[in-house]
Amino acid sequence: MNHPPSQLGERAGAVTSSSSEGLSPQSALDAATTRRRRYAYMYLSRTLDARFESLRLSGRVAKWYSAIGNEAVTVPAGQWLDSRDVLCSLHRDLGAILCYYLDCARTFPECDFGRGAAVARPQLPEPEDLLERLCRQLLGRGGGFSEGIERSYHYGLLSPEDGLRHVGMISHLGSMIPVAAGCALAVAREGRGGVAINFIGDGGTSTGDFHEALNIAAVWDLPLILVIENNRYAFSTPISQQYRADRLSDRGLGYGIKATTIDGNDPDVVDQTFAEAFEHARSGAGPVLIEAMVGRMRGHAEGDDSLKVVPREELDRYLDEDPVPRYAERLGRDGVMDERQRRQIESRAETLIETALDRALAAPQPDLKVARRPALASLAHPRSNVRTSEPPIVTEISYVDAICRAQLHEMESDDTVLLMGQDIAAFEGPFRSTKGLFERWPDRVIDTPIAESGTVGAAIGAALMGLRPVIEIQFADFVSCAFNQLVNVAAKLFYRWEAPCPLVIRLPAGGGVGAAPFHSQNPEGWFAHIAGLKVVCPATAADAYGLLRASIQDPNPVIFCEHKYLYRRIKGVLDDDAERTLGKAAVRRSGSDLTLIAYGADVWRCLDAAERLATLGVEAEVVDLRTLVPLDTESVLESVKKTGRAMVVHEAQITAGFGAEVAAVVAEQAFSWLDAPVRRIAYPDRPVPYAKVLERELLPNVEGIVDAARELMAY
Active-site amino acid positions: 519
Task: Give the CA count within 13 Å in the CB-facing half-sphere of 469.
Answer: 32
Burial of 536 (0-12, 13-18, 19+ CB in 10 A): buried
Query: What 3-state DSSP class applies to 247?
Result: coil
Q: Residue 76: which H helix or E strand, with range?
A: helix 71-78
Q: Is cis: bond before 630, omega within 30 of 0?
A: yes
How far apart, in whole angstroms, are the C-alpha atoms of residue 212 and residue 231? Answer: 23
Yes or no: say if 651 and 602 are a contact pair by the CB < 8 Å rule: yes
Handedness of CA 379, 381, 385, 387 (dihedral sign): negative
Residue 372 sits at the vertex; the CA angle it makes with 367 and 376, to the nearest 5 degrees, is 130
Task: Look up residue 90 and give its amino acid.
Answer: L
Distances (CA, A) of 181 to 73, 213, 281, 302, 680: 20, 6, 12, 31, 44
How far apart, in whole angstroms, are the C-alpha atoms of residue 672 and residue 326? Answer: 76
DSSP label of 83: T
How far apart, in whole angstroms, are the C-alpha atoms of residue 307 and residue 293? Answer: 17
Query: What 3-state DSSP class applies to 262?
Result: strand
Residues in the chain: 715
Q: How does DSSP assign 503-569, residue by residue? A: EEEEEEE--SSS--TTS---THHHHHTSTT-EEE---SHHHHHHHHHHHHHSSSEEEEEEEGGGTTT
